[in-house]
Chains A and B, each alone.
Chain A
Amino acid sequence: MIADRRSPPLTQDGAAQLQVAGITKWYGKQRALADVSFDIRRGEILGLIGPNGSGKTTLLETVAGLLPINAGSVLWQRSSLPQHRRCEVVFYLPDGVRPWDGQHVIRVLQFFASTFGRRAAELDEVARSVGLQQVFGKRVCALSKGYTRRLMLALALLTPHPVLLMDEPFDGFDIRQTREMMALMRRVAAHGRTLALAIHQLADAERVCDRFILLADGRVCGIGSLDDLRARISQPTARLEDVFLALT
């Protein structure tokens, strides 16, 4: 996996790298997030789990600095990370986006590669890792949902940011493709990058994530590894689905 030449200094494994402290978000009179706090550790894959409307996307966008918040803060290595500097640390991949859909795939990839100073060999490596080479000459608007997902993932891998936030990264993939992408994410995390994934498919989340944040109605109902969460409900063999239902 390509090196993060421009990445900020990383913390030691296991230490909190990014901390989210008491984020609250209101849409008019509707509260979307209520005092949400958690931390993300270097090299882990964190799963944001929750039903539709639970606040997963809102949470990712507030952490990425793409939505203003009513209260709370984000800390990078224990120092405040103001909204306008989040994009130096965190890169967020939104769901349902066809990036610059009138352009050819190779052009979009080259745009990101040039912007972040990636060499052609690095671009090639990323494109091969997500299986995009077959569609280099196609326009983004002509891509299938799966290939659009691959393109988005490739764009994220071309960035040097130490923390990647992804909204429904497996949406549009079949089982085989999902497993391929999970393996890729594992390799990315093994190289020291941190991933936070908003997933509503609990089976997928259980396979790929190290720790989970259970969200319901904008509130955190549980944080921890699957074993931690099982211990909370005293069901040592429970599936993530059972844990989620018990805690939310």
Chain B
Amino acid sequence: MRSPDVTTVRRTPLRPLLAKEVAGLLNGRALWTMLLILCPLVGYSFFQAVALYGEASAAARDQPQLATSLSPLDGILVPTFGAFYVTATLLFPFVAIRALGHEKETGSLKLLVQLPYQIPTLIAAKLTAISFAWLIAVTPVVSALPLWLSFGGHIDPLETSNLLLGHLLYGLLIGTIALFAAAISDNSATAAIVTLAFTIGSWVLDFALAGQPGALGWISRLSLTQALHTFEQGVLSAALLLGTCTAIVGFATLAAIWLHPGTSLHKKLARTIVCVGLAGLLLATTTQLRTSSDLSEDKRNSFPAADQRTLARLNEPLIVTVHLAPEDPRYVDLQRNVLSKLERVVPNLTIRLVTAGQSVIRSAGEVSYGEIEYSYGGHSAKSRSTSHREALPLLYGLAGVAVPTPQAGEDYPGYPLVADGWIALPWFLVALPLLIAVAWWWWNRHAPRIPAQFVKNGGQL
């Protein structure tokens, strides 16, 4: 077939496409409006966080042992980023939808899909522009970090980076859902409704289904907000990281499937089924991963350092059999205080949940209900405690090792600080909005530089 030379298509430069996509987002009002709304929200959250942290720190002056519980991650970063989370959930979809929805509404999409770019390339370019928009949107909240440091506060780079990574993944997930919604919708309003159905639906899942047994409990774990909570606790989980990336790629692929107006509906549906199936398989696989790291500075997700070192040397299989229903608060405690920490440190661990799928009411009558059995090296021991203070000595007894003694200087010192948060308010309420407004005005007013040869060749510019 004497068809066009497709090799030229593959060499099409990406830079003009990326520049167009970024300019498209900056030309809209959504991003700038979101930034302006973010400033007071972040500012007030930061001010409140500093005030509350200061009150707790003042109490720690009289009782020094209270200082060890004062972590800037919990006290300052998570509340300040909380304002960004709300904005990312409710407003960022409108920014992301514009990347595609506006082109659909104006008809420009019909021109775009005829350009020599593959459809996945178009979606990747839009996702890159959305990531760039997220980077701009996060500026107000990131500006709180140097402010906190200027107050004399402490920030741990590792846990802060982990928190930022969580918000980035959350933002990209919202962005790809918005792209998919824009791809399947005729207009931006419908796309916004579809996206908000996902994001606000996640909140509903959190409220209504969390802690439910069986399938309902599994569905509740699909909530977008659940993903962020792990990062807020300073945990970097391989399952969560890969699962979120799978969801991002999955929604981006769905957007690519639905983008081209020339593809027939039955082809789109068939490809969607394949994509959802593959993404489901990948998600199911990633949830089996147990690798995770505790990146919090206070190591709240780990046992004390001396215990960590001893447990890491338990090389034989450790089997923990739990006779608790998943929705039982004791199981939640056990999971948080013991099981999740053991998973991160013991090399060969198996956890069996005997009553999985049963409710508390059905299981509570059993004599063994509430027991936690630890088996190691051919020995086993039972306990009903959900605290590591009782579980670990049991384990050491089974393994025949001495209970480790903590070493001086290993405890988290805590970072109490009494600061005046009022100083931050002029920045968030006046200076930063003013800077954003000026940047918006400049972007809208400035005309592009016209290349000289166009003027020389008779242009009347």
Smallest beta-carbon distance A66→chain B, Å: 5
- B449: nearest chain-A partner, CB-CB: A106
Contact between A85 and B3, CB atoms less than 8 A apart: yes
Q: A8, A68, A124, A137: which contacts B262 (Cβ < 8 A)?
A: A68
Please tell me if B106 contacts chain A, counting CB pairs below 8 Å: yes
A124 touches B453 (CB 8 A): yes
Q: Is the CB of A76 within 8 A of B107?
A: no
**CB-contacts of A83-126 with B (<8 A):** 83-89, 91-94, 96-104, 106-107, 110-112, 114-117, 120-121, 123-124
Given contacts A64-B114, A100-B24, contact A79 B1 (CB under 8 A): yes
Instruction: Kindly state the separation between the CA atoms of A123 and B16 in the bound complex, as whole angstroms.
Output: 15
Contact partner of B3 (CB less than 8 A), chosen from A8, A99, A103, is: A8
Stretch at the interface among A42-50, A127-135, A200-208: A127-135
Contact of A66 among B108, B262, B460 (CB under 8 A): B262
Secondary structure at chain A's binding surface: helix, strand, loop or mixed?
A: mixed
Closest to A65 in B: B262
Enumerate chain A residues within 8 angstroms of B450, measured Cβ to Cβ.
Answer: 106, 136-137
Q: Does B365 contact A (CB under 8 A)?
A: no
In the bound complex, residues from chain A placing their C-beta under 8 Å from that of B453 are 120-121, 124
Interface positions, chain A 34-71, Cβ under 8 Å from B, are 61, 64-68
B106 and A98 contacting across the interface, CB-CB below 8 Å: yes
Are A67 and B261 in touch, CB under 8 angstroms? yes
B447 at the interface (CB under 8 A from A): yes
Residues of A within 8 A of B23 (CB): 102-103, 107
Which one of A87, A111, A128 contacts B114 once the chains associate, using CB atoms below 8 Å? Answer: A87
Q: Given the complex of chains A and B, what is the CA–CA distance between A162 and B15 in angstroms?
A: 25
Chain B residues contacting A111 (CB-CB under 8 Å) are 16-17, 19-20
Instruction: Indicate whether A88 sits within 8 Å of B454 (C-beta atoms), given known contacts A97-B107, A133-B459.
Output: no
A137–B4 CB distance below 8 A: no
Q: Which of B411-461 contact A (CB under 8 A)?
A: 447-448, 450-451, 453-454, 457-461
Decide: A77 near B2, CB < 8 A? Known: A97-B107, A115-B16.
yes
A28 to B262 Cα, complex, angstroms: 16
Task: Kindly list chain A residues whose C-beta atoms are within 8 Å of the C-beta of B447.
Answer: 104, 137
The number of residue pairs between A and B whose CB atoms lie closer than 8 Å in the complex comes to 144
Whether the pair A133, B114 counts as a contact (CB closer than 8 A) is no
- By a CB distance below 8 angstroms, the chain B residues around A96 are 107
In chain A, what residue has the closest Cβ to B20? Answer: A111
The reply to whether B27 and A137 contact each other, CB–CB distance below 8 Å, is no
Complex CA distance for A94 and B23, rounded to whole angstroms: 23
Known: A8-B3, A106-B448, A133-B454. A114 touches B16 (CB 8 A): yes
Count, chain A residues at interface, CB 8 A: 55
The verdict on B113 contacting chain A, using a C-beta distance below 8 Å, is yes
Choose from B265, B267, B451 the contact partner of A120 (Cβ within 8 Å): B451
B215 at the interface (CB under 8 A from A): no
**Interface contact B20-A100, CB-CB below 8 Å:** yes
- The CA of A136 and the CA of B452, in the complex, are separated in Å by 12
Once the chains bind, are A88 and B116 in contact (CB under 8 Å)?
A: yes
Enumerate chain B residues within 8 angstroms of A98, measured Cβ to Cβ.
106-108
Q: A88, A93, A110: which contacts B6 (Cβ < 8 A)? A: A88
Cβ of A191: which chain B residues have Cβ within 8 Å of it?
A: none
A115 with B113: CB separation less than 8 A: no
Closest to A133 in B: B459
Q: Is the CB of B110 within 8 A of A8?
A: no
Chain B min CB distance to A37 (Å):
20
> With the chains together, A200 CA to B451 CA distance in Å?
38
* Interface membership of chain A positions 1-26, coded 1 if the CB is closer than 8 angstroms to chain B and 0 otherwise: 00000111100000000000000000
B400 close to chain A: CB less than 8 A:
no
Does A154 sit at the interface, judged by CB under 8 A?
no
Q: Are B5 and A8 in contact (CB under 8 A)?
A: yes
Q: Which residues of A contact B451 (CB under 8 A)?
A: 106, 120
Q: Which residues of A contact B (CB under 8 A)?
A: 6-9, 61, 64-68, 76-77, 79-81, 83-89, 91-94, 96-104, 106-107, 110-112, 114-117, 120-121, 123-124, 127-128, 133-134, 136-137, 155
A-B contact pairs, 19 of them (CB 8 A): A6-B4, A7-B4, A64-B114, A66-B110, A66-B261, A83-B263, A85-B3, A87-B116, A94-B107, A99-B111, A100-B20, A100-B24, A100-B108, A102-B28, A103-B20, A106-B454, A107-B20, A111-B16, A124-B453
**With contacts A93-B111, A107-B20, A133-B461 known, what are 4 further pairs, Cβ within 8 A?**
A8-B5, A100-B108, A106-B451, A121-B453
Residue positions of B touching A, CB distance < 8 A: 1-6, 8-9, 12-13, 15-17, 19-20, 23-24, 27-28, 102-103, 106-108, 110-111, 113-117, 261-265, 267, 447-448, 450-451, 453-454, 457-461
